[in-house]
């Protein structure tokens, strides 16, 4: 089975793919997760809501998080969306600060062409 490339897929395709992956995981481990009805009860959502999710992918974000938690994959999503410590340090560069009240505000541009406005520290 060919895996969907999310970078090339439409939002609707991604939604349906996520629903199919959840369904495959539940069915693969049916002895643990049970059928649709028992799994829906286990995660605290209605059977029809869960059934509709597996068919169409339509679900609220809150219920989707319940599905992820029920399938024991919430931690994987957390790691996926968590910025690494290295990224945090690489993105923080020391920038000169304009703290003199006598100097006018300066506008600089960083390496990403984002405007950096140095605002004087008026609280010192």
Is residue 54 within 8 Å of 23, Cβ to Cβ?
yes
| Cα(12)–Cα(4) distance, integer angstroms | 12
* Distant-in-sequence, close-in-space partners of 2: CB < 8 Å, separation ≥ 6: none
90: its two tokens: 């690489």
Give the chain's count of helices (H) and strands (E).
7, 2
Give pLDDT tens digits for 49-63. Answer: 999 999 999 999 999
pLDDT of residue 49: 95
Is residue 120 within 8 Å of 103, Cβ to Cβ?
yes
Give the range among 35-39, 92-96, 98-102 with minimum mean pLDDT: 98-102
pTM as predicted: 0.64
Give the CATH class of 11-81: mainly alpha
Is residue 4 within 8 Å of 24, Cβ to Cβ?
no
pLDDT of residue 119: 56
Give the range among 14-18, 64-68, 84-88 with minimum mean pLDDT: 84-88
Q: Which residue ranges make up each domain of the chain?
A: 11-81
The per-residue pLDDT of the chain, averaged, comes to 80
């Amino acid at each position: 089975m060919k895996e969907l490339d999310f970078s090339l897929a439409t939002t609707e395709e991604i939604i349906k793919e996520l629903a199919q992956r959840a369904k495959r995981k539940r069915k693969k481990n049916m002895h643990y997760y049970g059928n649709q009805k028992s799994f829906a009860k286990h995660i605290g959502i209605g059977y029809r809501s869960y059934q509709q999710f597996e068919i169409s992918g339509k679900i609220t974000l809150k219920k989707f998080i319940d599905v992820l938690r029920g399938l024991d994959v919430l931690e994987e999503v957390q790691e996926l969306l968590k910025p690494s410590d290295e990224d945090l340090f690489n993105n923080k560069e020391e920038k000169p600060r304009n703290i003199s009240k006598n100097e006018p505000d300066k506008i600089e541009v960083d390496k990403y062409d984002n405007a950096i406005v140095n605002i004087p520290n008026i609280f010192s």
